[in-house]
Amino acid sequence: MTSGRLAVLSVVVALGALAAYVLLFRVTLVRNHPEGYVIAFVLATTLAALALVRARARRWPAWLALGLASLLLVGGAWFNFVLARVPDAPTVLRVGERSPDFTLPDAAGRPVSLADYRGKKPVVLVFYRGYW
Amino acid sequence: MAELQGLGAQLSEAERAGVEIVAVSPDPNERSQRLAEGLRLGYRFVADRDLAVARRYGLVHAGGGPDGQDVPRPATVVLDRDGAVRWFLVSRNFQVRPDPDDVLRAVRAL
């Protein structure tokens, strides 16, 4: 493959991986494998490096692709392996044991107690951060 | 909240009536409730503004928020009719949430 085509392919892989992750975040397989975009950025960086090696006269497309891919690789790896890491800590949850009771207000301000469901309904408790 | 959508979409109407999904977050919950109504999800959203409940459960990620505030560790817990824990998962990477299929399997096994 020519240097120019390799550079274009690198940009497509890098930006495509970014777009796919953002657009397909609702798909469990995509959401739960964030290392996928890091691997795609590694591939894009490799393609751009290859483009640079093969470049004869016009070197700027390869440099541009390499800049973009390596920036995404560093940013993506930092986000996935550093920023998004949730430190492990012991919880009070034990399978087979009751979880602690609580009473919290719902959207209308009415109190909701975990104890209210006991003997009536199973409960799925979802703790989430709020902003997605 | 991505995991909530998958879960709600996959529960049948009968199952939705037979299980209560309680979503706990420090979010001002009118926003959550509006979102749930938009998605037609029958969830109870409760506000844990000061993270007191998350703390009691050992589910606080200290300084994990975008502005360095404390936030809950994303977690899903399946409780049976007697309130006993049957299945739970705490995320180690905030991008990763339980697979709705795994949660459904735990709910259907009750």
Summarised one tens digit per residue, pLDDT across range A49-72 is 999 999 988 899 999 999 999 999
Q: Residue A129: inside a domain, yes or no?
A: no
Report ipTM for this prediction: 0.87
B77 CB contacts (<8 Å, ≥6 apart)?
A93, A99, A124, A125, A126, A127, B85, B87, B88
Average pLDDT for residues B64-89, to the nearest whole number? 92
Q: Is the pLDDT of residue A127 over 70?
A: yes
Say how many residues make up chain B. Answer: 110
Residue B60's pLDDT is what? 94
Residue A86's pLDDT is what? 92
The answer to whether B8 and B21 have CB atoms below 8 angstroms apart is: yes
What's the structural domain count of chain A? Answer: 1
Average pLDDT for residues A20-39, to the nearest whole number? 91
In whole angstroms, what is the distance from residue B10 CA to residue A70 CA? Answer: 39
- B13 CB-side CA count, 13 A: 0
Determine, for residues B19 and A115 on separate chains, whether the beta-carbon distance falls below 8 Å.
no
- Rounded (10°) angle between helices A3-23 and A60-78: 30
Per domain, the residue ranges of chain B are 2-100
Which chain B residues are within 8 Å of A84, Cβ to Cβ? 93-95
Q: Residue A92: inside a domain, yes or no?
A: no
Q: Is the pLDDT of residue A26 over 90?
A: no
Dihedral angle over CA of B22, B26, B28, B34, nearest 10 = -40
Summarised one tens digit per residue, pLDDT across range B2-57 is 566 566 666 666 666 788 889 898 877 666 666 666 665 667 888 899 999 999 99
- Segment among A7-21, A90-104, A109-123, B11-25 with least mean pLDDT: B11-25
Residue A89's pLDDT is what? 86
Determine, for residues A124 and B77 on separate chains, whether the beta-carbon distance falls below 8 Å.
yes
Determine the structural domain holding residue A66 and report its residue range. Answer: 3-83
Domain spanning B2-100, CATH architecture: 3-Layer(aba) Sandwich (3.40)
- Segment among A104-108, B21-25, B33-37, B104-108 with least mean pLDDT: B33-37
A97 CB contacts (<8 Å, ≥6 apart)?
B84, B85
Q: Which of A80, A106, A119 sits opposite B81 (nearest CB)?
A: A119
